[in-house]
Amino acid sequence: MATILDCIGNTPLVKLKNREIYLKLEGFNPGGSVKDRVAYYMINKAEEEGILKKDTILIEPSSGNTGIGLALVATVKGYRLVIVMPETMSIERRKILELFGAEILLTGSENPLSSMETAIEEAKKIAKKKGYLMLDQFSNENNVLAHYETTAPEIWKQTSGNITHFVAGIGTGGTITGVGKFLKEKNPNIKIIGVLPKDPIQGLKNIKITPKPKILNLDLIDEIIEVSLEDSIKNVKKLAVEEGIFAGFSSGAATHAALQKYNEEEGVYVVILPDGGMRYLSML
């Protein structure tokens, strides 16, 4: 391996006790989340297309994980990065970003459910005014491609093609669209289940209230389950106590949705756990 970036991907798949529910532990990526895949793809493609040069300053709106992934890749490759994020995000995420050398701009919002929209608009304004490059994870097709070419084939191989249900939270839509597209091509009968937040949950986006991300393909999704912050945190604690897995809030939400659906309809479930719980400690 030449750099830490070569460690991105090929994350473990772990089975829950007494159920055919498998958890894809994306917290094992070097930057600690599924967004390392996306950051790596977006920056590499921008370099290939010639729009990202050594003196280019990157800017990106992020609730934390994409920002951290970009900060990891940017620092290895030598780029300056500015992250615009809602002030409600955990202090752990801010500190990790700072350690990777990113500059942070915090934004506020009257409605917590639309706080990410405020950050997006602010990042766009700054990018236009100062000539920074915004890779825009919400509309960048390389976000989808990262999961179509890496996450999905890993899941297919790890389950020997026996997967029947795929469960993922909806944020940018990149994971569920990329993995969903690949799995439906392999077997149209695989059910794709999206998870939305009833309350503000870091990493998830309520598309019933805020604009739908451009890259999200709702046609691939068979069912959507809404989860409360309370149920998300309950499952974070349950995973830790019963399975020895310390996961983040969006992971708790996705696991709750998977368990709910599994009780109605058994099968071979794969659930994306986007990150670990260490960056949420101050919020538990």
Is 35 labeled as catalytic in the residue annotation? yes
Q: Measuring CA to CA, how many Å separate 161 from each of 59, 183, 270?
A: 39, 9, 11
The two three-digit tokens of residue 162, written as one number? 């026996």
- 42 close to 49: Cβ distance less than 8 angstroms: no
**Nearest alpha-carbon partner for 82 in 44, 130, 48, 114:** 130
| C-alpha–C-alpha distance, residues 20 and 17, integer Å | 8
| C-alpha–C-alpha distance, residues 60 and 72, integer Å | 13
Please name the helix (run of DSSP H) or strand (run of DSSP E) that holds residue 170, with its range, or none. none
| C-alpha–C-alpha distance, residues 163 and 199, integer Å | 30
| C-alpha–C-alpha distance, residues 247 and 37, integer Å | 18
Catalytic residue among 24, 35, 191, 261: 35
Catalytic residue among 63, 90, 232, 250: 250
Specify the length of the chain in residues.
Answer: 284
Computed on alpha carbons and rounded to an integer, the radius of gyration of the chain in Å comes to 18
The two three-digit tokens of residue 204, written as one number? 């998830």
| C-alpha–C-alpha distance, residues 225 and 109, integer Å | 26
Q: Which positions are catalytic?
A: 35, 250
